[in-house]
């Protein structure tokens, strides 16, 4: 089993509570996050943690954790990108977001 099939298998194990459309939005987001470079992002949903991204050597690493509370998060992210992610957060569809920048001491939790 290669890395891509492991991600898909892990994804399908948590998709049972999602509609067909929200599963498609989630797959699209996961595929995009798989290309993340220069930062690390952890997506937490239903007790499952998926990590994405790589840190660039010599740069201050940026680590973000997003906890998904509702499948609506994926729809909003798919429709409106980063603005949709922010709106989903404001509506409570995601939360306990943690942002760290090593060396800079930046930390936000809600």
Compare 62 and 106 and report the one with higher pLDDT.
62
Contact 40, 79 (CB under 8 A): no
Q: Supply the pLDDT for residue 99.
A: 52
| Tens digit of each residue's pLDDT (9 = 90 or more) over 45-101 | 988 999 999 988 888 888 999 999 999 999 999 999 889 999 999 999 988 545 555
Which letter, b or e, does each residue of 70-101 get, where b requires 16 or more Cβ atoms within 10 Å of its Cβ? bbbbbbbbbeeeeebbebbbeeebbeeeeebe
pTM value is 0.67
Residue 103: pLDDT band with limits 50, 70, 90: very low
Res 55: pLDDT: 86
* 6-45: pLDDT as tens digits: 444 444 444 556 789 989 999 999 999 999 999 999 999 9
């Amino acid at each position: 089993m290669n890395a891509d099939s492991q991600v898909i298998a892990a994804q399908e194990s948590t998709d049972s509570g999602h509609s067909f459309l929200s599963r498609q939005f989630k797959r699209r987001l996961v595929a995009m996050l798989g290309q993340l470079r220069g930062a690390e992002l952890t997506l937490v949903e239903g007790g499952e943690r998926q990590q994405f991204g790589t840190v660039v050597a010599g740069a201050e690493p940026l680590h973000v954790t997003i906890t998904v509370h509702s499948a609506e998060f994926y729809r909003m992210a798919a429709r409106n990108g980063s603005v949709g992610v922010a709106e989903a957060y404001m509506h409570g569809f995601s939360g306990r977001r943690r942002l760290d920048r090593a060396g800079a001491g930046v930390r936000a939790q809600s």
